């Protein structure tokens, strides 16, 4: 074999070895969650439950049923991205506000998101609102709120009523970044009808989940 052909042969062998190692690494990466995804823990809190039905309109589905359905869908979407997800309730059961905050604290959550539907005396009021509270993690809470705000608006087209600060117990007593999302007004007939549709609740869940994912990416 000539010297030139010998060099070419060695280069081919080296290339095959390198490509094989790269392919194995890619396969391992694809099959193994990143450290960030496996470590990041989200607690989802479907509001109300049990004897506490929350808001409703003219005998329609109560808030406790609608928000649980949304939370379960958010959980599914986040788990597809290999997040660790905990729900404060998975069925129609009453859980005290203190217990909800305690679940997040005991499990050392990275983010707590409470999901609710709104109601007021003015049936013209509509849209979603996001709340955060003073708990020592306001800056991180506000950053996550902004991502969920953008993604929820994009997913649903609903009126954006802004981000507000309020000392709700479930978000003021948690030790991690925490938010309370009011997904719409059940006192508004049009919005109540939308929230009664599973297809619309999927959009709401998609917006919340995408906002959480975007916030984690930003956090790095």
Q: Is 182 a catalytic site residue?
A: yes
CA–CA separation, 25 vs 19, rounded Å? 10
Of 75, 182, 191, 206, the active-site residue reads 182
Q: Which two tokens stand for residue 117?
A: 């539907």
Contact predicate 165/145, CB 8 Å: no
Q: Is 81 exposed, middle or buried (0-12, 13-18, 19+ CB in 10 A)?
A: middle
CA–CA separation, 176 vs 174, rounded Å? 6
Instruction: State how beta strands 128-132 and 160-165 pair.
Output: parallel
CA–CA separation, 134 vs 140, rounded Å? 11
CA–CA separation, 19 vs 14, rounded Å? 9
Show the CA angle centred on residue 112, arms to residues 101 and 50, nearest 5°. 55
> CB neighbours of 185 closer than 8 A, spacing ≥ 6?
117, 118, 119, 120, 125, 126, 127, 191, 192
Which residues form the catalytic set?
Answer: 182
């Amino acid at each position: 074999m000539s010297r030139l052909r010998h060099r070419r042969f060695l280069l081919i062998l080296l290339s095959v070895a390198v490509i094989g190692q790269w392919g194995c690494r890619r396969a391992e990466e694809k099959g193994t969650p990143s450290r960030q995804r496996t470590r990041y823990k989200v607690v989802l809190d479907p509001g109300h439950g049990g004897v506490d039905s929350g808001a409703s309109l003219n005998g329609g589905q109560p808030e406790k049923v609608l928000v649980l359905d949304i939370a379960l869908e958010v959980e599914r979407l986040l788990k597809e991205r290999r997040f660790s997800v905990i729900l404060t309730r998975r069925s129609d059961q009453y859980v005290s506000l203190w217990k909800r905050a305690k679940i997040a604290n005991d499990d050392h959550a990275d983010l707590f998101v409470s999901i609710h539907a709104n109601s007021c005396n003015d049936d013209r009021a509509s849209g979603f609102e996001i709340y955060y509270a003073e708990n020592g993690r306001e800056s991180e809470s506000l950053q996550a709120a902004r991502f969920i705000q953008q993604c929820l608006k994009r997913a649903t087209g609903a009126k954006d009523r802004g981000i507000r600060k309020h000392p709700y117990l479930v978000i003021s007593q948690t030790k991690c970044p925490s938010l309370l999302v009011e997904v719409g007004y059940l006192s508004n007939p049009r919005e109540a009808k939308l929230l009664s549709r599973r297809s619309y609740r999927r959009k709401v869940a998609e917006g919340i989940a995408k906002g959480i994912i975007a916030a984690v990416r930003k956090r790095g």
